Amino acid sequence: MEGLFRRSIADRTPVEMIYMSEKDIVTKRVVTVRQVNEDAITAFCHMRQAVRTFNRLNILSALPVKRRSWRQDDQIG
């Protein structure tokens, strides 16, 4: 995932990730990463139209977005 996040920063490309909140709610997020550190990533959330911080331990998966149109921040389950 580290390489994918770094590429998102360099190329300003979105990443689709499955994220579990502190309240155990699992969502699909489309984000553009702005900063990466050991514990968290800071990214622009496309649905919320705001910069958010995501705990790296709660990121369940991450993939590059391959198409221009995507469904933003779908709650799973």
Task: Provide the Cα torsion 15, 18, 22, 24; round to 10°.
Answer: 170
Mean pLDDT of the region 40-64: 96
Closest Cα partner for 64 from 28, 10, 17? 17
- Token pair belonging to 61: 């998966």
- Largest Cα–Cα separation, the chain: 33
Mean pLDDT of the region 8-20: 95
Say which CATH architecture domain 2-75 belongs to: Roll (2.30)
Q: Where does the pLDDT of residue 77 fall: very low under 50, low under 70, confident under 90, or very high at 90 and above?
A: very low
